[in-house]
Amino acid sequence: MTDFDSKLEHSVSAELYRDPRVDSTEIAVSVHDAVVTLRGTVGSLGAKRAAGNLAERVAGVRSVHTELEVRLLTEHRRDDAELRATVLQVLSWNASVPEDVDAAVKDGVVTLKGKVDYRFQRDEAEASILNLHGVREIRDELEVRNTWLADDVRERIEQAFRRNVQVAADGIRIEVVDGTVTLEGTVDSWMERNTAIDAAWTAPGVQDVDDKLVIAG
């Protein structure tokens, strides 16, 4: 392991240790060429996602592989039918989630199905159920309707980049084909990458964003 990788490993471990959402003693951190791998077990899907996000925040990290297993405590395990009923109820409470969003549950894995008009509605549906007891994983099969693709979608995304101080627009190339936006180039951090992807989703009619951005090493 290089000195840089060793420092990254220490920094990621420290980031996990400081956050009460995760039990850092259950997570093993390894780093190779600035790529972080997280292994071990966590008690919830929310903790798994939090661990990955925390690792991404560390300066110098190029990529994060989250190989954590969600191992539910006995008291948190739920029958699939019961869990599905709870998921549908929670989704119905969120005004940002369309009524026709459905869910299937098998062995604690929740699959979201249906169509939404905007990407943020898809994000809201997932966020609503992320920390429910009994959820081991979420599979997002929600489709963003392609009701109208703006003629100037590329220009709209470029303008969104320029409005955001966290995105260096000159380093990102944009291609739009049949509702799919492809982002290529190099960014300085995961925050810049995530902000760029969020900006691309704001253009009307975008159905998918193909992330080919590289974190500068």
Element (H, E) at 217: none
- Residue-wise pLDDT for 18-67, tens only, equals 999 999 999 999 999 999 999 999 999 999 999 999 998 888 888 899 99
Task: Kindly report whether the global pTM for this prediction surpasses the value 0.85.
Answer: no
- Residue-wise pLDDT for 25-36, tens only, equals 999 999 999 999
* Burial annotation 103-133 (CB, 10 A radius, 16+ → b, else e): bebeebbbebebebebbebbbbbbbbbbebe
Average pLDDT, rounded, for the chain: 88
More confident residue, 167 or 123: 123
Helix/strand/coil percentages in the chain, nearest 5: 40, 30, 30
HSE on the CB side for 86, CA within 13 Å? 18
- Cα→Cα distances 152→128, 138, 206, Å: 33, 34, 12
Query: Percentage of the chain with pLDDT > 90?
Result: 51
CB distance 210 to 197 below 8 Å = no
- Residue-wise pLDDT for 89-143, tens only, equals 999 999 999 998 999 999 999 999 998 888 889 899 999 999 999 999 999 999 8
If you write DSSP's letter for every residue of 127-196 in order, what string do you get? HHHTT-TT--EEEE--EE--S---TTHHHHHHHHHHH-TT--GGGEEEEEETTEEEEEEEESSHHHHHHH
User: What integer pLDDT is reported at residue 159 of this predicted model?
Assistant: 80
